[in-house]
Amino acid sequence: MRLTRYFLPVLKENPAEAQIVSHRYMLRAGMIKQQAAGIYSWLPLGYRVLRRIEQIVHEEQARAGHIALLMPTLQSADLWRESGRYDDYGQEMLRITDRQDREMLYGPTNEEMITDIFRSHVGSYKDLPLTLYHIQWKFRDEMRPRFGVMRGREFLMKDGYNFDVSKEDALHAYNRHMVSYLRTYERMGLTAIPMRADSGPIGGEDTHEFLVLAATGESEVFYDEAVTELKLGARTVDYDDRACVAAICREFTSLYARTDETHDAALFDAIPAARRKVGRGIEVGQIFYFGTKYSEPMGATVQIADGSKVPVHMGSHGIGVSRLLGAIIEASHDDKGIIWPEGVTPFACGIVNLKQGDAAADAACAAIYAALGALGHEALYDDRDVRAGEKFATMDLIGLPWRITVGPRGLANGVVELTSRRTGISEEMPAEAAVARIAAIYAGV
């Protein structure tokens, strides 16, 4: 994309309403525009990142054998009366009446609806196990939205629901979700720690939250520092292998890591003092096993081998997709702007033409841009006729992880400059080498 043809309304000054760094940078980098309290438009740059995150979530869900569908944002109140949650949910639920005076609501989650779909179409244990999920906009009418997309009222969420014939099977689904979530966050460049949590209004027996450590996090967290070193890395996971999946879950949950809700001071104090950490975290996902809490009252049953009908065992699993933008920025930025991990960056790299209008510089930039595009890596080419400093400042703000800087001075020596946004380290090399380096970097992402 050529910047002169793009829509990137960056701000030089900090908007007054933004308090935390991710909110400030998202506004300044022209990623979002607030339309009402806790409700945002996604401008092109923000939308690109949002889609990247969605794509990673889809890929990892597919890998775990989960099936995508799409449910509507508006739901009928009747469905929620069946589970008893219509009254339980309170003011946070946005209630709407249509022209026929029918009671509707803008869904804050989809347990009831997915259970309805399930009971309409599934009747046999032979159809199980089944895990369905979607990525859809939700609405929770927070009393006090804040921190930009981290605590909006409208938010994009991946929510998945597993249906199993037994508790044992459902716990395997739980474990599968834990591992797939760990992979998902790792691909986004995040360290998200699973922590034993409270079940809240969803209800249930077993639940873990995934927390990204950040000073601005909403939850106080207590953890063994060794848990932050755990990585899935390149290991292959067979999601059908219960023992393998369970072993990974044990590995990631056996060290102490809890939020203040479930904190146990005695267990915490048993950690060696040097590794005992108290910090703050941003919740970016949560998984639940809740058994037959919805299937029983809503009649979601399957017939088993002996001919009897049993309510299915369920769990639900969520990733805060739009919130992740904020969480990633909180975890990855400096005083000049955002630093996108390669996994979610809106463009593979930036190309800065130091002397727009110089025939050699223009040609070199165009060639680099085309070469990257041919390899499947879209660059953002700053072809504006502005001073170098302004181009650098823009690139730093929007946080592309790599920058290729092209100027007449370097070209005279046959080189361009490749700069890492994260380290700030620049290397001079021929243009072809810089293109090859970018390709090599993304080959491993």
**Binding region for RNA (CB under 7 A):** 10-17, 19, 28, 34, 36-38, 92, 140, 142-147, 150-153, 155, 200-202, 209, 218-219, 283, 286, 318, 320, 322-323, 336, 354-355, 387-390, 392-394, 396-397, 405, 407-410, 417, 419
Count other C-beta atoms under 10 Å from residue 246's C-beta.
17
The nearer residue to RNA, 360 or 370, going by C-beta atoms, is: 360
Find the shortest distance in angstroms from Cβ 296 to RNA.
22
Is 294 in contact with 112 (CB distance < 8 Å)?
yes
Please identify, using beta-carbon distances, which residue of 150 and 314 lies nearer to RNA: 150
Output 58 or 355, the one with its CB closest to RNA: 355
Choice between 60 and 396, CB closer to RNA: 396
- Minimum CB distance to RNA smaller for 141 or for 378: 141
Q: How far is the CB of 366 from RNA (least distance, A)?
A: 17
Least distance from C-beta 320 to RNA, angstroms? 4
Using the minimum distance from each CB to RNA, give the nearer residue, 208 or 377: 208
Smallest gap, in angstroms, from Cβ of residue 409 to RNA?
3
Round the CA-based radius of gyration of the chain to a whole number and report it. Answer: 24
Closest approach, Cβ 280 to RNA, in A, equals 11
Asked whether 100 and 294 are in contact (CB, 8 A), the reply is no
Which DSSP category does 6 fall into? Answer: S
Contact, 425 vs 418, CB < 8 A?
no
Toward RNA, which CB reaches closer, 159 or 169?
Answer: 159
Which residue, 69, 77, 85, is CA-closest to 294? Answer: 85
Output 110 or 301, the one with its CB closest to RNA: 110
Q: Say which DSSP state 312 is in.
A: P
At 160, is the secondary structure helix, strand, or coil?
strand
Collect all residues with Cβ–Cβ distance below 8 Å to 184 and sequence separation of at least 6. 56, 57, 60, 319
Yes or no: say if 137 and 321 are a contact pair by the CB < 8 Å rule.
Answer: no
Q: Which is nearer to RNA, 245 or 411 (CB)?
A: 411
Residue 282 Cα distances to 192, 210, 302, 403, angstroms: 9, 8, 38, 30
- Which three-class secondary structure state does DSSP give residue 365? helix
Report in angstroms the alpha-carbon separations of 64 from 13, 58, 240.
Answer: 44, 10, 8
For residues 190 and 328, the answer to whether their CB atoms sit within 8 Å is yes
On whether the CB atoms of residues 328 and 188 are closer than 8 A, the answer is yes
Asked if 83 contacts 298 with a C-beta cutoff of 8 angstroms, the reply is: yes
Q: Which is nearer to RNA, 146 or 276 (CB)?
A: 146
The minimum distance between CB 424 and RNA, in angstroms, equals 7
State how far the Cα of 73 lies from the Cα of 322, in Å rounded to an integer.
16
Using CA atoms in the order 264, 186, 241, 223, what is the torsion angle rounded to 10 degrees?
-10
Q: How far is the CB of 335 from RNA (least distance, A)?
A: 10
Report the residue number, 92 or 240, with the smaller CB distance to RNA.
Answer: 92
Report in angstroms how near the CB of residue 99 gets to RNA at its nearest: 22
| Strand 130-139 to 94-97 pairing | unpaired
For the CB of residue 401, give the shortest distance to RNA in the complex, in Å.
14
CB of 346 to RNA, least distance (A): 17
245: amino acid identity, one letter: V
Separation of alpha carbons 11 and 28, rounded Å: 5
Smallest gap from Cβ 67 to RNA, in A, equals: 23
Provide, rounded to whole angstroms, the least separation between the CB of residue 373 and RNA.
23
Pairing of strands 426-429, 94-97: unpaired
| Nearest alpha-carbon partner for 403 in 332, 343, 349, 443 | 349
Residue closer to RNA by CB (options 53, 165) is: 53
CA 134/CA 69 separation, integer angstroms: 5
